[in-house]
Amino acid sequence: MERLCDDVLQLIFFELTDPGSLTMVSKRFYQFSQVPYVRAHYFLTRYGPTQAMFQALGRGKILTESVLDILMTSGAHLSRYLIQVAFHHYFHTRSHFIKTPWVRTVPLSVFTYFLKLAADTYGDIPRGKSEDDGTIFTWFLQESRFPPQARRVNWETVRDILDKYNFIPFSHKDPLMAQFPLALALEPRLLPYAVSNGFFMDSKYRNFIFRKMFEKVSGRSVDDVVNNVKELCRLDLTMYMSRTVAAEVCMEAKYNAHGYAALKQLNKSGNLLFDLSTLVEDLLKLFLKTSSITLPQTQEALQHLYADFPSSDPVVRLVMLMTVFTPGDSRVNTATIQERLDTLKIGVLTKTDLHNLLINPYTEKYQGLIEYMGKEMISEVTGQKGMTAAEVKDIVHEVTGRCMEIESKGKMLKKLYEEFSCVRGAIIKSALGTHQLHLADLPVGCSRYHARLCRSYFRTNDDNEYFWNGRPNRKVIPRETHGKGCSSSELASASSAEEVDREMVSPRQVLVRLGQIGQEPLSAMIRQDELTPARSRRRMIFDAIPVTPPTYIPHDQMHVAKWIKAEFGPRSSVTAVFMTHAIINENSVILNDYLLVAGRAQRVPITLKHFQILARLQRAPCNQLYREIESGAEFFLNEDEYIPKSDHARKLYTKVEVKKESSPANIPVSSVTQEHDATSGSPRGRKRPRRSTAITVRSYFVPGSDDEAIAVEDDEDYDMKMKQAEENLRLWVKHLAELLKTEQAKHQEQKKKLMKEAGPGARVRVYKNEFFRSLSTHLRLLRKIDEDKRKGLDYMTDHGPSDVDDEDYYRQTSRSKRRKTSK
């Protein structure tokens, strides 16, 4: 270190936050730190010209007259605003944003020299309260929404303090640093003066500035907004109107007419880097999957946009039909619907449009649509206005099966079920025919397979789910449409600002890089910007951060599977189909509703077939299934064993041939059936005698009491239930063990095959599938529970009450597990 030259040592000093400790190492380092040139350039290099003087005034012990002279001659920025704040802070007259000693650590002689330099630079400086340049600039921002005659500060005054007195926030801690870009939004002509003082435009403030430009303010005309946008884009090539802000302006087009008119004028003159009609089309498509489509104010805004920019896209057409047939208020008649259709010029409604409207997740009040079909739609039978009752029933019958696949259509299915008699038959036919899953029809090893019923609310929906026969092919957006009216130089500047290579990305990717669009209006985003603390605002990225994120679940909805269970019962063939689909899709909400109920008779049984299906798909079973087995679930091979012969659903579904399920090859069907009949709790089987090691039920009743008969009867019922639970658990353990052996044999066979293909000496590692790992783990626990019950120990679980106290249980388990030692 002692042999380093001064240049290298100076660079080391510049990298340290506090070089004071290094100066105590040696005499040479201390003498080197006393050089005024080194001290001055330490602040210039480490903090930059804008903050160098502010940081130097905070180090009063090392600040001298020579250091001040070198700072001034070397390019340190000294504004009149900094001098005023330092004056107030030093003499304790006014505390700005600084809460530290700062300039008060400067010796009086040095601070007097600093004031002399300030007077030589700016002459007589205002020193009174609220006379500093920062207060004047704050007034200019606060009164921007006032009429011109009511403002205390005009833009010429702000221009003078920027031009003559070099005004700029001198620290990142200054709240004005986050507010400074607002002045450029209000008056873009201030940008050259701000840049000359050392200000540079950060791209994260782009949306923040353009939002303020398009804000609805009294006294601001359309030409003012257009001129401000053009002037700012001309002065700074990195500034351009993003799709994010343009979409926000479009969302309040009806209430902010000046901003919307200015946006259309900029699009017409070619000052936007995207086509406004394409933006509106993409914006309308966003409302297909969100519940905000049912709000009256949203419907008015979308209809207003569609009137100015009509589109032939099928998604946009469906969105606009939803605004007509799904109004926020229920008081809508056929005449009102026809009037809205004529206003939008959407064309003649087809049968496909009716299907799409009825299967939409946000269509609950379908009465207006049914009424319109009966009065205005052309009948295919009579050829006149008004469909016949038979045609309406046919449409309802066709739509019912599709509504079963949409999880939030429970309310609508319930209403249709009560109004149309054909709905019950349609539900049964769809469940037992279309959605009935057979083991042989499922793909092998497809862990990503999803059934069509009982899907989760939070899955990623495809657009095809909102259309009757699938969505038509997407339109190909021409390359020239996204750059309408945009010169090559402007597009190149935008691409360089966002680091987008026009030749290497697709037109759709260019649109995405120009900003994500959302459903929030401009006023809501401006309000969010203003509520953000000033010091936190400079660290934020002002993009499409929604104030209220869109909801993809209809309000006050009812799941179809829950209504099916309530209507058809827990032991119905229709409910059994929904149970199978819920297990495949791992829908915990439906499984909890089907399994976690008070009475065992109200639960939908689980079967061995469910585990066989999951084994074929190589998917781990849900934890609810294992918990149900632990709590004493009855054992059934498949749903045919618990569905009664008097099931009405199967009686109505007589034309569909039900496939027979075959048991695995390694389990003899006859032996399994005979043993299950003999050990299950069904009336047709004979009960197995009680084991000698079974639990001895203790009786605590007092002899001779009045409740003696009741106590004995309760003990017998409890004894019978415990025996039945034990037998069911043993059957589950036995058959799940056989299923595990089958999976293990498949795993070994696959391992041998891969080792044979790899050749001799090669090491092959074959991972177990999810079902194999899950079953092997939980089966070990089930065997432990069964073993404890055989030994007379109650396995303590959280799924039901126990007659053994916790202290007694742990005493018994510790005694049984104690290691035996020989003396």
Query: Region 27-45: what's the mean pLDDT?
Result: 88
* CA atoms of 319 and 585, how far apart (whole Å): 29
Range with the lowest mean pLDDT among 119-133, 337-351, 453-467?
A: 453-467
Asked whether residue 197 falls in the same domain as residue 96, the answer is no
Asked whether residue 110 falls in the same domain as residue 239, the answer is no
Asked whether residue 209 falls in the same domain as residue 145, the answer is no
Q: Is 372 exposed, middle or buried (0-12, 13-18, 19+ CB in 10 A)?
A: buried
- Helix-helix angle 176-186:222-235, to 10 degrees: 120
Find, among 368, 266, 288, 358, the residue nearest to 327 by Cα: 368
* pLDDT mean across residues, the chain: 79
User: Is the residue at 279 inside a domain?
Assistant: no
Query: Region 169-191: what's the mean pLDDT?
Result: 84
pLDDT at 485: 40
* CA atoms of 738 and 730, how far apart (whole Å): 12
Give the domain extent around 248.
178-273+516-544
Asked whether residue 167 falls in the same domain as residue 195, the answer is no
Query: Region 21-32: what's the mean pLDDT?
Result: 80
pLDDT at 10: 79
* pLDDT category of residue 544 using cuts at 50, 70 and 90: very low
pLDDT at 717: 57
* CA atoms of 170 and 89, how far apart (whole Å): 15
User: Quick one: what percent of the chain has pLDDT higher than 90?
Assistant: 31
Q: Locate 775 and state its tokens.
A: 């079953």
Query: Region 467-485: what's the mean pLDDT?
Result: 45
User: Quick one: what percent of the chain has pLDDT higher than 70?
Assistant: 78
> Does residue 599 sit in helix, strand or coil?
coil
Query: Region 327-336: what's the mean pLDDT?
Result: 66
* CA atoms of 793 and 815, how far apart (whole Å): 12
pLDDT at 458: 63
pLDDT at residue 327 is higher than 80: no
Query: DSSP code of 330?
Result: S
Asked whether residue 643 falls in the same domain as residue 539, the answer is no
Q: Which residues of 3-39 are buried (b: 16+ CB within 10 A; e: fewer)?
A: eeeeeebbeebeeeeebeebbeeeeebeebbeebebb
User: Is the residue at 797 inside a domain?
Assistant: yes
Query: Region 694-703: what's the mean pLDDT?
Result: 40
State which of 171, 201, 223 marks the end of a domain.
171
pLDDT at residue 297 is higher than 60: yes
Asked whether residue 165 falls in the same domain as residue 183, the answer is no
Asked whether residue 79 falls in the same domain as residue 227, the answer is no
pLDDT at 39: 92
Tell me the C-alpha to C-alpha distance, in Å, between residue 804 and each of 558, 695, 793, 810: 41, 12, 9, 10
* CA atoms of 73 and 75, how far apart (whole Å): 6
* CA atoms of 182 and 174, how far apart (whole Å): 15
pLDDT at residue 547 is higher than 70: no
* CA atoms of 207 and 193, how far apart (whole Å): 21
Query: Region 460-468: what's the mean pLDDT?
Result: 69
AA identity, residue 473: N
Asked whether residue 669 falls in the same domain as residue 532, the answer is no
pLDDT at 462: 63
* Sign of the torsion formed by the C-alpha atoms of 106, 112, 114 and 119: positive
* CA atoms of 210 and 208, how far apart (whole Å): 6
pLDDT digits (tens, 9 = 90+) for 729-784: 889 999 999 999 999 999 888 888 888 888 787 777 888 889 999 999 999 999 98
pTM, whole model, 2 decimals?
A: 0.72
pLDDT at residue 557 is higher than 90: no
State which of 171, 200, 228 marks the end of a domain.
171
For residue 252, report the phi and psi dihedrals to the nearest 5 degrees: -120, 40
User: Is the residue at 140 inside a domain?
Assistant: yes
pLDDT at residue 50 is higher than 50: yes
pLDDT at residue 548 is higher than 90: no
* pLDDT category of residue 657 using cuts at 50, 70 and 90: very low
Q: According to the 3-state scheme, what is the secondary structure of 682-747?
A: CCCCCCCCCCCCCCCCCCCCCCCCCCHHHHHHHHHHHHHHHHHHHHHHHHHHHHHHHHHHHHHHHH
| Pairs from 498-507 (Cβ < 8 Å, separation ≥ 24) | 507/477, 507/478, 507/479, 507/481, 507/482
* pLDDT category of residue 472 using cuts at 50, 70 and 90: very low
Asked whether residue 678 falls in the same domain as residue 807, the answer is yes
User: Is the residue at 629 inside a domain?
Assistant: yes
pLDDT at residue 207 is higher than 50: yes
User: Is the residue at 15 inside a domain?
Assistant: no
Q: Locate 442 and state its tokens.
A: 């499922």
User: Is the residue at 432 inside a domain?
Assistant: no
State which of 115, 141, 171 marks the end of a domain.
171
Asked whether residue 110 falls in the same domain as residue 214, the answer is no
DSSP 133-202: HHHHHHHHHHTTTS-GGG-S--HHHHHHHHHTS-----STTSTHHHHHHHHHHH-GGGHHHHHHTT----
User: Is the residue at 144 inside a domain?
Assistant: yes
Residues linked to residue 385 through DSSP beta bridges, in sequence order: 378
Asked whether residue 521 falls in the same domain as residue 639, the answer is no
Find, among 581, 637, 646, 567, the residue nearest to 605 by Cα: 637
Asked whether residue 139 falls in the same domain as residue 213, the answer is no
* CA atoms of 249 and 484, how far apart (whole Å): 19
Question: Looking at the 3D structure of the chain, how many domains does it have?
Answer: 3
User: Is the residue at 662 inside a domain?
Assistant: yes
